[in-house]
């Protein structure tokens, strides 16, 4: 397979969205220098910077393709920007400025956008100015958001925050129309963060978009630590109890916790340790009472404050929360805040029962399954088969959810998930809605229920990616990657996936792309799973 640099530029213009195409090219392009470049892109997304540098430097030292060489140099500059290595940023920035006239015309728009961004972000006389800017970057829609980011950051440094916000918003609209997931995320995160101290109402509104579109467009949580940090700041300021869920997402994204499901386990914690921090906050609320005479829990309170109780029961904390009129504050210890979250869950659970009862039975299954498949980890506390078996029996289902708080939380997420989960959930709903007739969707329900937890996780990813890639690309898939565009029963992976799509009502070409989102070992596992279920 021979893909020229101009065609490659069009493919990688989607940023991380180009992963399935790069995976395919790694397996099917015989040119070593190009394969090194494909691998370097993937490594940079994983923040494996040293490995990225190795591949890019190999290309620069050995390739005969001038376009690929300059593309690799600009990628090397971008990698040094990511790790804030100022010496190498200056070195490669000045090299590209000095050699701009030697850069092939097709690359100038892409490279000049990076150079503009560096120049507008770093005020240093040792950074040369490129006078003869190519005008290609102004025409290139994929690069336009990044050009706007440079302008917005310049406005922010000048203290012109409202103007910067408007520029970020224009960048977001362009990135969304493309779509370019990284640019969407950067536009929303940076605009929310920079406006939060100047117009909090605007920051809250932008933060809601950030939550939803991160869930919808970005699969890897390790890319989202800064976004989750921004969301946590907004939720903290709002005194929003959903701060707890986003804080756990943040911890998970930076590998501070290994299993996100521990968040749900904490919802059923019945005993807490008596800590100094807990005593401090209880004292603070006690002193703020209008009348101490109306306080009915002096015995419990005094035992805690005098440290005569090493452990405190959930119901004791609940009594103090009510009597001391405690509301959510992110600074409070978990013993208080998770009990407040339990109260929030119980109120929402009761209020949503009628909404559930009004849903048609097939819609119930779609909503339950989409929630299950949207979770960060397979919710092992939910028995899908049981819920599907009793889908027509409201009383039995409500009793099941009412067993514990994590199940009640799952029930709430069927209708009112946090924005990030809502974006992931909509991806699943969109895919399930393509299985239009009853036979097709029931085929999938039965297929999914027979999978083990690891297999379910794989299919959760597959269906989310299926919806993400159900778009019209701005390059010719038929021309550039015909082996993904066309079906061919003589090719095993295509035949297996096509048969699965026919059984379940999915569009095979989009499924091919979603399949190539997986790395090699996962692709094999995926094919093994669906091969066993095909009726063909």
Q: What is the pTM of this model?
A: 0.93
On whether both 366 and 512 belong to a single domain, the answer is yes
Summarize pLDDT for 216-226 with one digit per residue, the tens.
Answer: 999 989 889 99
**Residue in 209, 204, 225, 205 with CA at minimum distance from that of residue 176:** 209
Query: Residue 135: what pLDDT?
Result: 56
On whether both 431 and 518 belong to a single domain, the answer is yes
On whether both 512 and 367 belong to a single domain, the answer is yes
Residue 346 lies in a domain: no
Q: Are 408 and 463 contacting, i.e. CB atoms less than 8 angstroms apart?
A: no
On whether both 231 and 282 belong to a single domain, the answer is no
Residue 149: CATH number of its domain: 1.25.40.10
Confidence band (pLDDT; 50, 70, 90) for 369?
very high
Residue 139 lies in a domain: no
Residue 156 lies in a domain: yes
Residue 264 lies in a domain: no
Residue 54: CATH number of its domain: 1.25.40
On whether both 74 and 18 belong to a single domain, the answer is yes
Residue 496 lies in a domain: yes
Percent of the chain with pLDDT over 90: 79
On whether both 307 and 410 belong to a single domain, the answer is no
Residue 347 lies in a domain: no
On whether both 506 and 407 belong to a single domain, the answer is yes
On whether both 516 and 456 belong to a single domain, the answer is yes
Count structural domains, the chain.
4
At residue 125, does pLDDT exceed 80?
no
**Residue in 447, 220, 503 with CA at minimum distance from that of residue 228:** 220
Residue 19 lies in a domain: yes
SS3 sequence of 282-326: HHHHHHCCCCHHHCCCHHHHHHHHCCCCCEEEHHHHHHHHHHHCC
On whether both 364 and 486 belong to a single domain, the answer is yes
At residue 139, does pLDDT exceed 80?
no
Which three-class secondary structure state does DSSP give residue 271? strand
On whether both 390 and 511 belong to a single domain, the answer is yes
Summarize pLDDT for 41-91 with one digit per residue, the tens.
Answer: 999 998 899 999 999 999 999 999 999 999 999 999 999 998 989 899 999
Confidence band (pLDDT; 50, 70, 90) for 297?
confident
On whether both 223 and 363 belong to a single domain, the answer is no
On whether both 408 and 528 belong to a single domain, the answer is yes
In whole angstroms, what is the distance from residue 146 CA to residue 186 CA?
Answer: 9
Per the structure, the complete domain to which residue 330 belongs is given by 271-341
């Amino acid at each position: 397979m021979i893909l020229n640099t101009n065609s490659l530029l069009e493919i990688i213009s989607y940023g991380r969205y180009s992963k399935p195409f790069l995976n395919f090219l790694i397996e099917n392009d015989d040119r070593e220098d190009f394969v090194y470049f494909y691998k370097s892109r993937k490594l940079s997304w994983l923040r494996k910077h040293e490995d990225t540098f190795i591949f890019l430097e190999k290309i620069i030292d050995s390739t005969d393709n001038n376009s690929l060489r300059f593309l690799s140099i600009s990628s090397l500059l971008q990698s040094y920007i990511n790790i804030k290595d100022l010496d190498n940023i200056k070195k490669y920035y000045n090299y590209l400025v000095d050699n701009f006239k030697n850069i092939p015309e097709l690359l100038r728009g892409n490279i000049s956008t990076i150079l503009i961004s560096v120049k507008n972000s770093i005020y240093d006389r040792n950074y040369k100015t490129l006078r003869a800017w190519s005008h290609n970057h102004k025409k290139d829609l994929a690069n336009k958001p990044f050009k706007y980011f440079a302008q917005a950051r310049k406005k922010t440094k000048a203290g012109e925050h409202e103007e910067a916000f408007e520029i970020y918003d224009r960048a977001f609209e362009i990135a969304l129309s493309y779509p370019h997931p990284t640019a969407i995320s950067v536009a929303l995160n940076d605009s929310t963060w920079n406006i939060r101290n100047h117009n909090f109402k605007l920051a809250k509104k932008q933060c809601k978009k950030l939550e939803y579109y991160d869930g919808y467009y970005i699969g890897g949580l390790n890319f989202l630590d800064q976004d989750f940090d921004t969301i946590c700041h907004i939720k903290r300021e709002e005194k929003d109890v959903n701060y707890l869920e986003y804080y756990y997402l943040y911890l998970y994204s930076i590998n501070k916790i290994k299993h996100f499901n521990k968040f749900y386990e904490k919802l059923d914690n019945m005993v807490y340790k008596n800590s100094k921090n807990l005593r401090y906050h209880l004292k603070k609320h006690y002193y703020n009472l209008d009348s101490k005479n109306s306080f009915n829990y002096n015995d419990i309170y005094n035992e805690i404050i005098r440290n005569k109780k090493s452990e405190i029961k959930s119901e004791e904390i609940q009594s103090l929360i009510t009597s001391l009129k405690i509301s959510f504050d992110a600074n409070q210890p978990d013993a208080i805040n998770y009990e407040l979250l339990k109260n929030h869950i119980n109120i929402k659970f009761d209020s949503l029962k009628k909404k559930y009862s009004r849903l048609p039975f097939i819609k119930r299954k779609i909503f339950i399954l989409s929630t299950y498949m949207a979770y960060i980890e397979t919710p092992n506390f939910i028995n899908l088969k049981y819920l599907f078996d009793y889908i027509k029996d409201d009383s039995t289902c409500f009793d099941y959810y009412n067993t514990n708080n994590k199940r009640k939380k799952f029930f709430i997420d069927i209708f009112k998930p946090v924005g990030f989960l809502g974006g992931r959930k909509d991806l699943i709903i969109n895919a399930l809605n393509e299985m239009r007739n009853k036979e097709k969707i029931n085929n999938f329900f039965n297929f999914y229920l027979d999978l083990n937890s690891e297999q379910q996780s794989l299919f959760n990813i597959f269906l989310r990616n299926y919806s993400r890639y159900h778009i019209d690309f701005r390059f010719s898939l038929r021309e550039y990657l015909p082996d993904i565009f066309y079906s061919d029963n003589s090719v095993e992976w295509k035949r297996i996936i096509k048969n699965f799509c026919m059984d379940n009502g999915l569009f095979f070409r989009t499924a091919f792309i979603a399949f190539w989102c997986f790395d090699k070992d996962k692709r094999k596992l995926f094919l093994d799973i669906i091969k066993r279920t095909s009726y063909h």
